[in-house]
Structure 1
């Protein structure tokens, strides 16, 4: 599969699966949690509170891993494994762009200073469990 075809498949998987697992590192141990992800040209954004442990973890170690796509049929689902780095992004534009009324459970409004995004810049993206084929890596 060409890199262009691979990128197209990666974008489809990411776009079709907004819920995934974010893993961070603390004291050389992984910590994982389910998050909601938004995609802009393979840069991922996930909303969070500024006063959470994952923010502290990322400030100490920017390395993260994301799994997306493994949720419907079980063992036969194709999914992506993304390794990259993360930063905190508190852009007001981003906060308004991705605001959802369901966020009111955690935030007052898009202007809430505790409402931020983790911005994840992929370094490697692998497609796994793709019709029995070996893992394929998208070169970024």
Structure 2
């Protein structure tokens, strides 16, 4: 059980450190991804996003609540993919609590009536945590010469 707890903690730590993700929703038969600033609440097992009531993602989530959050730190070679269920909320107090600098690019204040909260409750995740780009290239080159598989760091699938 300790290893599962460690993997779960690793997912949250990587997502929190990276901060921005690509939110993927289903639009008809197509999948659509867009960058979003994530607010992690590990104690609530939830990720929160501020969104606009007029955005298409609200309609997409109403029809297809299953989403994917893809966090990527390509320089550090750290990645997290989180699957979960999303819903849209109009909790004005929580909107004020989540208000931060990224939101100021879209709205003048947390009192804007068009702001909504997108809450994602994760069900599963997978992470990849390698030692970094340069070390990874060195390990791949060494493995190519020796015909051995390189140790590219940690990878785990996690139930959340």
TM-score interval, normalised by the smaller of the two chains: 0.7 to 0.9
TM-score by length of 1: 0.87
Distance (Å, rounded) in 1 between the aligned partners of 2:127 and 2:114: 34
Give the number of the structure whose residues are more often helix, by fraction.
Answer: 2
**Unpaired runs of 5+ in structure 2?**
132-151
Q: Give the secondary-structure state (helix, strand or coil) at the position aligned to 2:73.
A: coil
Root-mean-square deviation over aligned CA pairs: 1.9
Once the two structures are superposed, residues 85-122 of structure 1 have per-residue CA deviations (whole angstroms, 9 ceiling, x without a partner) of: 10002212211111125534422321222111110011
Kept after mapping to 1: 8 A contact 2:37/2:102: no
Once the two structures are superposed, residues 20-70 of structure 1 have per-residue CA deviations (whole angstroms, 9 ceiling, x without a partner) of: 1000001121001111000001410111101001111111110100111x2
44, 48, 53: which one aligns with 1:50: 53
Aligned length: 137
Distance (Å, rounded) in 2 between the aligned partners of 1:137 and 1:101: 32
TM-score by length of 2: 0.77
**Unpaired runs of 5+ in structure 1?**
none
Q: Give the match for residue 67 of structure 1.
A: 70
Q: Give the match for residue 122 of structure 2.
A: 122
Distance (Å, rounded) in 2 between the aligned partners of 1:129 and 1:118: 27
Distance (Å, rounded) in 2 between the aligned partners of 1:71 and 1:112: 32
Distance (Å, rounded) in 2 between the aligned partners of 1:10 and 1:105: 28
Q: Give the secondary-structure state (helix, strand or coil) at the position aligned to 2:15.
A: helix
Q: Give the secondary-structure state (helix, strand or coil) at the position aligned to 1:2.
A: helix
Distance (Å, rounded) in 2 between the aligned partners of 1:102 and 1:13: 19
Distance (Å, rounded) in 2 between the aligned partners of 1:116 and 1:123: 22
Q: Give the secondary-structure state (helix, strand or coil) at the position aligned to 2:96.
A: helix
CA shift at 1:135, angstroms? 3.7
